Structure 1
Amino acid sequence: MNSRYLGAASALAIVLSLGAAGAASAQTSTATVRGVVTDGGTAEAGASIVATDVNTGFVSRATANANGNYALPNLRPGTYRLNVSTADGDTYEQTVVLQVGQQAYLPLEVGATVSAGDPSATDVEDLIVVGNRNAIEVRTSEIATNVSALQISTLPQSNRNFLNFAALAPGIRLNPDEFRRDFSSGGNAGGGLSSNQVNVFIDGVSLKSNVNQGGLIGQDASRGNPFSQLAVQEFRVSTSNFKAEYEQAGTAIITAITRSGTNEFTGEVFGFYQNEDFTKRNYFQRLRGQETPALERQQYGASLGGPIIQDRLHFFLAYEVNDQVRNNDVVAGGGDRTTLPARVNVASYEGSFASPFRQDIYFGKLTFRANDASTLELQVSYRDEDDVRGFGGQTSFERAENVINEVLSVKGQWDFQSDLFFNELSVDYRESSFRPSILNPDLVGENFNGIIQIGGRSTSQEVREEILTVRNNVTIEPFELGGSHLIKFGGKVSFADFTVFNGQNTNPTFTYNLTPSQNLDYSFPSQAVYGVGAPTVTAENTQIGLFIQDDWEVNDHLTLNLGIRWDYETNAKNDKFVTSPAAAAALQFAEDTIRAQGGTHFEADRYISTGNNRDGFKNAFGPRVGFSYDVFADQQTVVFGGAGRFYDRTLFRNAAEESLFRQFANRTFLFSRDGLPRNGQATILWNESYRSRAGLDGLIASGVAPNSELRVIPNDLEPPYTDQFSIGLRQKFGDWNTSVSIIRQIGKNEIAYYPINRNVALNAQGRMVAFTVPGFGTIVAAENNRETRFTGLYVTAEKPYTSQSGWGVTFSYTGSDAETNRNEFNFDFPLASERPFVPNGADVEHQIVASGIVDLPWQLQLSGFLTLSSGNPFGVNDFSRIDEGPEFFQNFRQGNFGQPERYSFIIPNAFAYRSLDLRLTKTIAVPGGDLQLIGEVFNVFDYDNFNGYDGFIPETGTNLNFGNPNSVIGTPRTFQVGMRYSF
């Protein structure tokens, strides 16, 4: 560990703990119970409330104030026995179940009688509907969905990624890409780069990726899982108006807690299996007459928890493996092979090749209750995966990559309670490394266009994050001032080291074309692309966050949630970078050229860094205001709403690329048989000695290489944020909890790139023309002017599963209108600000997600997961309107993701995406525990869910493929079998 971490962390921990100030987890890993103690309607001042965790024996205490109000904050989610003793000796006992992130309002009437159910029952199924034992969270302005341990363990899913169940929350979109298991929300939902403005907390530890895309560390390009599902107890999905204690998220938060040991030894062993015989062919495989690719997937693991010292010290351990081998078929294209070099035996590259993947996830936790006022906890998790992939189709196995993904997290926490406050101090260390490497680095790449790609892959990368975070959180005992206030405040400091190695094209690729009209064939390459220089950037960054939150119960009807958060980073923009004199001259030349044409949109000084003119952004204040109004003061009908600003962060990779493009350059060499120009561009007379790194190095040394791209970011780059507004209604109907809400999100300051060196005016055909900058090729600049707009209608209904009723159902509907005014890379307009708003990847007009669990005879249980949606919009490039001239190009250019006029292809039924998954479980009592036999089927009705629609409309003629898909998302009908033994 970096020595600067240790000294700074120690000093900060001492200051924070002595000052009882701090930050961090609060509701990110706990729950709160508030209420009033009464006897015959009279407030019981001084009543003592003792909450005992029935599984661990841990005890928390509270005392009712003069108005009878009490609060038990920072309780670990679980089942609690509440014992109330009044000043005159009356007693009362009640059992309650709390969920993560919940702020439950629970009035305690000493004279009340708890009816029904077994008083000794301790599991959620037995307690959730027993009398008034279930804690209800309705008095909150937050829009959130809790996913229980029962749902995680019971609902069907193929890959044991607990985040899959986040789709139960309205507004959440899961990425169906096998190699990118992430999620997104609101106006930033969809695929591609839009998953960044989310965050996941595991026991208060942020999994946010500070460098890479994908939102979470390790999820940018992985078919693995971010955390052990065995170790996850439950989680909560917050999609609007989440509180100020949550950091670095503009659209959605997931807060999960891990399992802990209890006073009983408990454990689980599981295994799931699947191969190609369990999977049908998809639409395109059937169309091409392909066989189902070979597949074998084994998922297995075990957990064990229990007491070391009864009621005091407990442990929990978990281990999971995802071991799979998928075969990819390499099939050469049908191009003319007659001019291929004799050394290229195409048949030797064809066939079916294994793509193995293995992930191992480890988790361990110790929890020590030193006394009723103090708890210590230590936990460690480690994720390790290897993935050989990147081949198939016309790409040979030689060009595969091995993606190594490692994440280590260590956390220590001390909770202390006094008569005046509850203090939570934690220190966590996280180290992650994402390393796609070249499987055959000694072979140069060769691409015979239309036939086969052979040789080594072109690019290797490594993204490393090393972060030490100190957090402290204080919750003040509730006090009366115009109602009951529960105040939390705190802060965090993170010390981060970032490393970005982007060895793009460090292994050169030679491309061969068969174009007789240009005197090109497969006997020599038409071009080579080669990256040279120092492709590594490192930086140190300190992140500071402060918040204060007041949950104010004004009266029996009105609750206000008021808060503000402030975040700051010392080096979010690679602040010590110095623009070279040559680059500064090029930028000034571009500004002068643009101004001579009448343009004023580019100022070179904004992009010229001196190493001390990039001040950190100090205005990231995020106020949050929310309310809930309990109409009849009975927690049955509640109106709620809120507004707030939510800052995320600019990924460090965006800043690192500015240095990378200066330290490291991609060179493109054009070759010919005669050394004459081709298409107006100079070429190099081909020589066989050039077919190597050494040969290309020699050409660079001799000065025969094109200029490289200049990538720049503005000195005043600001982090992205969303402004959120919501209004809604919650209503209980017996056992059913329902809600309707309307969401509005406006996202700003999102990063976008556009080329600077292009003329202000379009040419006569309405096309852009670039001008030449001395010493460089294209100048690509970043801006903070990309925006998103999202309006959503969220409808939810839930009847929780109980063992008494034997069934449970959840339902969510999302109506969406989402648009953006540009892509991340905007190369289609002279000015980035001119791009119109069009539908983006989140613009799925309708989405329904439902789940159900039902008990059947003979110890059988059936569960299901249904997803229906309108499908994603797709980009349409309509060049049939080119005769409209420059005006057309100003308003509709290539690169739109989405379209001004929605092209809706419902194929062929009411929903473009449809999938129903089912699981049947048979439970058998065996010595020491239960054995479950599990059968699952995914996409039961084998729906063809299409993707990759062709959106090109040519200038003349007809594109016969317009509107047709070229791929599918999700899986065809697939079966999986498994077993689970628990005790």
Structure 2
Amino acid sequence: MKRLIFLIISLLFATTFRANAQDLANLVGTIADPSGAVLGGVEITVANADRGFTRTVQSDEGGSFSVMRVPVGTYTITAEKQGFQKLVNTGIVLDPGQTLRVPLQLSVGSVSEKIVVSAEPVHVETETGAISHVVNSTQVAELNLESRNFATLATLVPGAAPAGTGFDPTSVGVLANATISFNGVPGNFNNWEVDSTNNVDQGSGSNSLMTFPSIDSINEFRISTSNYSAEYGKSGGANIEVVTKSGTNKFHGDLFEFVRNDVFDANDWFLNQAGQPREPLKRNDWGFTLGGPVVIPGHYNTERNKTFFFVSEEWRSHREGTVINQVVPSLRERQGDFSECDQASPNFNPAVSANGLCVVPINPSTSAPYANDTVPVDPTAAALLNALIPLPNAGATVYRKAPSLPTDFREDMFKVDHNFNDKLRAFIRFTQDSYKQDFIPTLWSSASYGTVLSKWTSPAISSVLHITQTIRPTLLNEVIVSYSADVNTVHNFTGFDSPANSINKPQGFAMQTIFPGNQSQLKLPGIQFNAGVPFFTAESTGFEFDFVDPQAAIKDNLIWSHGKHTLKTGFFLLDNHINTTTNIGLNTQGFLGFGGGQVSTGNGLADMFTGIIAQYQEYGRVANGQLVGGPGQGRWRQWDFEPYVQDDWRFTQRLTLNFGVRYFWLTPFFDAKKPTNDSIFVPSQYNAGQQAQLDINGNLIPGTGATPLTYGNGLLQCGTGSVPRGCSTSSRGTISPRVGFSWDPFGKGRTAVRGGYALNWDSSNPLHAGAGFNGNPPTTANLNAFNVSGYQSIGPGPLGPVGFSDIPAVRKWPEVEQYSLGIQQELPASTILSVSYVGTLGRHLQQDLDINQVPVGATTQNVPAFVGQNQPGCDNAGNCNVQTALISLVPAEFFAPYRGYTGVVMRAPTGNSNYNSLQADLRHRMTHGLTFEAAYTWSHTLDNIVINGVNDSNLRRWYGTSSLNQAQVLTINWVYELPFFQHSPYRAARYLLSGWQVGGISNFAMGPPNPNLGLPTRTWFDPNVVGQVTPGQLLANNQPGMFGSLRRNPLRGPGRNNWDIAVMRNFKFDSEKVNLQFRLETFNTFNHPQWNGVNTYCADQNPDGGSCAGNGFGEVTSAYPSRIIQLGLKLMF
């Protein structure tokens, strides 16, 4: 970080900068006389009165002029030359990142004479072959968005397919999934920016955003989806560039509040069918914006053209109810008395017995029932029970609670623009999001009693300094220096109806741990019941983390407009850090499993009372082969340097060519902590002669070979010897060519044939997945102890094989090729139609391959542990027919190529994707009060980038219809200011009947593939993932040890037919300078049931395979929300 700060300061003083700032636009054109002859030496002035911006240039001898990097907004162009009338062209709207060509024509006459014309509101794109779309200020401000999440607006364009990515339009904050697939590319390949500042949380795998700008602070934004120019980089997906509002020479702003309440909403379809009430919900969203000039009357900025400010504040308070309805032990059971489960006992209670699910405990020492069906209760077990499982409050064995879970969000944003002079401008912006949310069940666990509560806090900041300098009219420089970070913490606390600190270990709590350092953990271990009781849900106190993701970046470019060429060159430099202290998905507090062990009472709760532990699991750090304990730690670093050159060449008056190249220099994430937590498994350095042997229970036999607690036998420490930091040698230097064209076949600026090609490399998710957040063995370990008798007997026991993630020693970065060819036509009434073929090819995408899978075709293998054990498929000498043994459910670890390990999941860059589509967009910009856009996509996506595949030795079986695929999507959005009674001569009619406005978003889409087929007995040897079907006889469960024959995703889930409609009433005062707007926003307006989840659980219990039938296989299990109503009130001035 110190080096980057020094570099930034040095560059600031050494040179001038420029970057691909997307809050800016370009204006180019040619100027001619009435005969069509071009005119040189024409003085052209471009002015934006609201921003106090003016710039004057002259046309060259070819009649060409360019005004580069001007703030977005509405402009007036004035053209003057002796012997010609003065031309004033008004109402020219510039969108973010746009290069707009404006042809001008001067008439012969006196310069004192003036001709005023109005610009057309829409223009075909004649300057680039890139495909991009602008969500304009009207759409941003007026469209109804559930939860006012700005990211929803990115789904309005062709090529967007959010259904298969987990995109969440209802939430903001770090847990709001912002992944949207564009053109078949994974959603975490997108690059989201705010005022040219990175806004992607890379620590989440680039699935979420750091900040969620308030809708009222956004001016507009551009979504570039295909073959964009070389000035864009960092990602292989779409570039989404948000432009925030700025102050102007007049004060403007708004006050707003939006309200949602369950009393407004329709009930969920399934709750309605069950006769259940709505789930409680209360949401309030309120705030304000204010912008204007910074003025000291009579002293500073009296002309209001120097300094401007803009402030935005937003608060969100969400209270969403959750229903806890769980079976818990009865009061007698909590005392160790299980007589209510015994049909022969006078205390028998059918509600407690639960049709025999509650097993009467048997004393394992005597093989007879305990006296009076009562077992002794260990004080340690009593502490666990009282802290983690609540008392029944609805009958003998039911606990019910409907707590309200709070989510609080606040955003502070300020922005200051300053014009030093007509050649030097700058702005600074600072945004801070504060996010707090409570969760039940706790994150990454299945806890559902409400006795443990997760609290997630996430303050995030985004800041930018943006300087623009005009060296001369044709040469411009810019610099953007940015810093962003989010700080995520998840910690667990005492939940509802529980005494304070009850999940902490009480004084005298007598339980040992495997890792000595974990003995000091304050919280109790988690528990789970596996057998003999009617309650199986786990409750965990662990799974906590502290996570900081700071990013510092600079963007530096130079633009030179020279004749028919606009040349751009520059670079992007990112210093990315991820600092973690975490045990995500693991448990330093420990986790106890009761029931189902070799020794048991038959009842999991009775086992807990008597200290009979079937399995104990604990996670911790390891140092030099010694168990230490404590959570995993990482100090991850990564550099990304991307210089580029771009030439936009006006080859003829009708043809523009785009040529560019970008160079990607990317480093893998590496752990800067010393000694590093990073390790890698290199198969070529694994020696089968040094492999550990397994005993009959699958544990490592001490002294027989290498263990995962020390380096060796293929397990190497990164950053030492021949292994580089980051664990792999990556192809750091990669070339990204870009070409495009735009051809006006008729020379009238109303038709454009456009196309292009771009090769992009993706660095959006470069975290070394081998170590993840926790670190790989041997610096961390997740250890188990089995069949333990007594809580004080827990300790390091037999070490079982461990599994971990891995990356190749030589790594390639994901690659996306983009290409398109289409036509754009201006239609009457300010409407543009675009129709394009758009395709992508993905290469070197991530696949998770288990390289320790039993090889296909394995025949006979000797297993020393099975000598004389009469194992199925094995003779007395331990020689096993692998196929027969697997069919008999013998664990696969005995036959794995790298014995001593379980799954070794190689995150390999071997995936491929292929996307082809027809995309159409019909756009009508605001005229006569109407804004309208319809986006249609007909596409097919194929890939093999399954996160969890099956037959890793035959990757061709993985290839098929992608889980991201939505074959057809039509999205329509509109805003219409109703013209009725606006000019009525009757005041009452104007006040009561005018000012109405309607708008909405309609979405019609085919369903995405439904990839999950659940099997009850052997999910570890699943067939290839398949989609749901209603006729269960079409699918059959494969035999144990056998691969299924069906390819991926042969069937689709339900589609969507959704209408979101809003009605607004505007009350305007003070000559329409003040507007009070009431908004009635509805989502799923017609309350049309739209199915979502489908039961894909194959309920067959036949060990030899059989058809999937029964238990509702193929039936719909969930739906998208029923009608939602959101009320809003805004005062705008």
Give the shorter-chain TM-score range: 0.7 to 0.9
Q: Which residue of 1 aligns with 2:513?
A: none
1:646-657 correspondence runs (5 A)? 646-649=760-763, 650-657=765-772
Once residues 799 and 470 of structure 1 are traced to their aligned partners in structure 2, the CA distance between those partners, rounded to angstroms, is 37
Judge conservation of contact 2:177–2:208 (CA < 8 Å) in 1: no
Residues 1:831 and 2:953 are matched in the alignment: yes
Deviations 1:280-310 (A, max 9, x none): 2222222333221111000011000001121
Mark the CA change 1:510 to 1:111 in structure 2 (over 3 Å): closer, same or farther. farther
Q: Which residue of 1 aligns with 2:1057?
A: 914
Matched positions, count: 906
Once residues 950 and 331 of structure 1 are traced to their aligned partners in structure 2, the CA distance between those partners, rounded to angstroms, is 22
Residues 1:796 and 2:927 are matched in the alignment: no
Shift of residue 144 of structure 1? Answer: 1.3
Judge conservation of contact 2:671–2:677 (CA < 8 Å) in 1: no
Shift of residue 350 of structure 1? Answer: 2.5
Residues 1:405 and 2:455 are matched in the alignment: no
1:103 to 94, 99, 104: 99
Mark the CA change 1:917 to 1:514 in structure 2 (over 3 Å): closer, same or farther. farther
Q: Which residue of 1 aligns with 2:368?
A: none
Mark the CA change 1:384 to 1:352 in structure 2 (over 3 Å): closer, same or farther. same
Judge conservation of contact 1:376–1:414 (CA < 8 Å) in 2: yes
Once residues 720 and 438 of structure 1 are traced to their aligned partners in structure 2, the CA distance between those partners, rounded to angstroms, is 37
Residues 1:861 and 2:997 are matched in the alignment: yes
Once residues 451 and 53 of structure 1 are traced to their aligned partners in structure 2, the CA distance between those partners, rounded to angstroms, is 69
Once residues 557 and 197 of structure 1 are traced to their aligned partners in structure 2, the CA distance between those partners, rounded to angstroms, is 35
Residues 1:208 and 2:359 are matched in the alignment: no
Q: Which residue of 2 aligns with 1:622?
A: 736
Q: Which residue of 1 aligns with 2:592?
A: 510
Q: Which residue of 1 aligns with 2:579?
A: 499
Q: Which residue of 1 aligns with 2:863?
A: none
Judge conservation of contact 2:481–2:554 (CA < 8 Å) in 1: yes
Residues 1:739 and 2:889 are matched in the alignment: no
Structure 2 counterpart SS, 1:292: coil
Once residues 593 and 847 of structure 1 are traced to their aligned partners in structure 2, the CA distance between those partners, rounded to angstroms, is 56
Deviations 1:726-778 (A, max 9, x none): 11111121122111111111111122222222332345379794435465443
1:314 to 267, 286, 308: 308
Mark the CA change 1:88 to 1:135 in structure 2 (over 3 Å): closer, same or farther. farther
Judge conservation of contact 2:526–2:542 (CA < 8 Å) in 1: yes
Q: Which residue of 2 aligns with 1:675?
A: none
Mark the CA change 1:775 to 1:958 in structure 2 (over 3 Å): closer, same or farther. closer
Mark the CA change 1:456 to 1:618 in structure 2 (over 3 Å): closer, same or farther. closer
CA RMSD of aligned residues (A): 3.3
Once residues 995 and 1039 of structure 2 are traced to their aligned partners in structure 1, the CA distance between those partners, rounded to angstroms, is 71
Q: Which residue of 1 aligns with 2:73?
A: 78
Deviations 1:179-204 (A, max 9, x none): 53313223556xxxx42100111111
Shift of residue 781 of structure 1? Answer: 2.1
Deviations 1:415-460 (A, max 9, x none): 1002241100121111212223223462432234662646544301
Once residues 32 and 56 of structure 1 are traced to their aligned partners in structure 2, the CA distance between those partners, rounded to angstroms, is 16
Once residues 689 and 422 of structure 2 are traced to their aligned partners in structure 1, the CA distance between those partners, rounded to angstroms, is 71
Residues 1:949 and 2:1030 are matched in the alignment: no
Q: Which amino acid aligns with 1:11?
A: S
Deviations 1:805-848 (A, max 9, x none): 2223210111121122141233x114263433122222111111
Q: Which amino acid aligns with 2:1001?
A: F
Gaps of 5+ in 1: 114-118, 121-126, 219-224, 595-602, 671-682, 691-695, 907-911
Q: Which residue of 2 aligns with 1:842?
A: 964
Q: Which amino acid aligns with 2:486?
A: S
Shift of residue 559 of structure 1? Answer: 1.1
1:156 to 136, 144, 154: 144
Residues 1:42 and 2:43 are matched in the alignment: no
Residues 1:487 and 2:567 are matched in the alignment: yes
Greater alpha carbon shift after TM alignment, 102-111 vs 394-403: 394-403
Residues 1:662 and 2:777 are matched in the alignment: yes
Once residues 292 and 679 of structure 2 are traced to their aligned partners in structure 1, the CA distance between those partners, rounded to angstroms, is 65
Judge conservation of contact 1:661–1:709 (CA < 8 Å) in 2: no
Percent identity between matched residues is 20
Shift of residue 145 of structure 1? Answer: 1.3
Shift of residue 468 of structure 1? Answer: 1.7
2:787 to 657, 680, 684: 684
1:204-353 correspondence runs (5 A)? 204-218=196-210, 226-308=212-294, 309=301, 310-333=304-327, 336=357, 343=386, 344-347=389-392, 349-353=399-403
Q: Which residue of 1 aligns with 2:87?
A: 92
Mark the CA change 1:54 to 1:513 in structure 2 (over 3 Å): closer, same or farther. farther
Residues 1:186 and 2:182 are matched in the alignment: yes
Judge conservation of contact 2:31–2:63 (CA < 8 Å) in 1: yes
Greater alpha carbon shift after TM alignment, 82-91 vs 583-592: 583-592
Judge conservation of contact 1:570–1:616 (CA < 8 Å) in 2: yes
Shift of residue 886 of structure 1? Answer: 11
Once residues 559 and 749 of structure 1 are traced to their aligned partners in structure 2, the CA distance between those partners, rounded to angstroms, is 33
Greater alpha carbon shift after TM alignment, 734-743 vs 492-501: 492-501
Once residues 830 and 265 of structure 1 are traced to their aligned partners in structure 2, the CA distance between those partners, rounded to angstroms, is 63
Mark the CA change 1:905 to 1:758 in structure 2 (over 3 Å): closer, same or farther. closer
Once residues 82 and 687 of structure 2 are traced to their aligned partners in structure 1, the CA distance between those partners, rounded to angstroms, is 80
1:703-852 correspondence runs (5 A)? 703-734=797-828, 735-762=830-857, 763-764=882-883, 769-770=892-893, 771=895, 773=898, 776-802=901-927, 805-826=928-949, 828-831=950-953, 833-852=955-974
Structure 2 counterpart SS, 1:11: helix
Shift of residue 24 of structure 1? Answer: 3.0
Shift of residue 862 of structure 1? Answer: 0.6
Mark the CA change 1:23 to 1:447 in structure 2 (over 3 Å): closer, same or farther. farther
Q: Which residue of 1 aligns with 2:650?
A: 553
Once residues 366 and 915 of structure 1 are traced to their aligned partners in structure 2, the CA distance between those partners, rounded to angstroms, is 41
Shift of residue 152 of structure 1? Answer: 1.0
Judge conservation of contact 1:495–1:543 (CA < 8 Å) in 2: yes
Shift of residue 632 of structure 1? Answer: 0.5
Q: Which residue of 1 aligns with 2:350?
A: none
Residues 1:427 and 2:487 are matched in the alignment: no
Shift of residue 23 of structure 1? Answer: 5.8
Once residues 668 and 2 of structure 2 are traced to their aligned partners in structure 1, the CA distance between those partners, rounded to angstroms, is 19
Once residues 272 and 452 of structure 1 are traced to their aligned partners in structure 2, the CA distance between those partners, rounded to angstroms, is 41
Gaps of 5+ in 2: 110-114, 295-300, 329-353, 362-381, 394-398, 495-502, 504-522, 622-630, 692-711, 858-881, 981-993, 1014-1021, 1024-1033
TM-score, normalised on structure 1? 0.86
Mark the CA change 1:653 to 1:966 in structure 2 (over 3 Å): closer, same or farther. farther
Structure 1 counterpart SS, 2:180: strand
Q: Which residue of 2 aligns with 1:964?
A: 1115
Structure 1 counterpart SS, 2:402: strand
Shift of residue 414 of structure 1? Answer: 1.3
Mark the CA change 1:339 to 1:152 in structure 2 (over 3 Å): closer, same or farther. farther
Greater alpha carbon shift after TM alignment, 916-925 vs 54-63: 54-63
Greater alpha carbon shift after TM alignment, 440-449 vs 39-48: 440-449
Q: Which residue of 2 aligns with 1:468?
A: 552
Once residues 778 and 658 of structure 1 are traced to their aligned partners in structure 2, the CA distance between those partners, rounded to angstroms, is 18
Q: Which residue of 2 aligns with 1:677?
A: none
Shift of residue 500 of structure 1? Answer: 2.9
Q: Which residue of 1 aligns with 2:334?
A: none
Shift of residue 391 of structure 1? Answer: 2.4
Once residues 678 and 1093 of structure 2 are traced to their aligned partners in structure 1, the CA distance between those partners, rounded to angstroms, is 45
Once residues 677 and 1126 of structure 2 are traced to their aligned partners in structure 1, the CA distance between those partners, rounded to angstroms, is 58
Judge conservation of contact 1:184–1:197 (CA < 8 Å) in 2: no
Judge conservation of contact 1:25–1:204 (CA < 8 Å) in 2: yes
Mark the CA change 1:798 to 1:298 in structure 2 (over 3 Å): closer, same or farther. same
Mark the CA change 1:581 to 1:67 in structure 2 (over 3 Å): closer, same or farther. closer
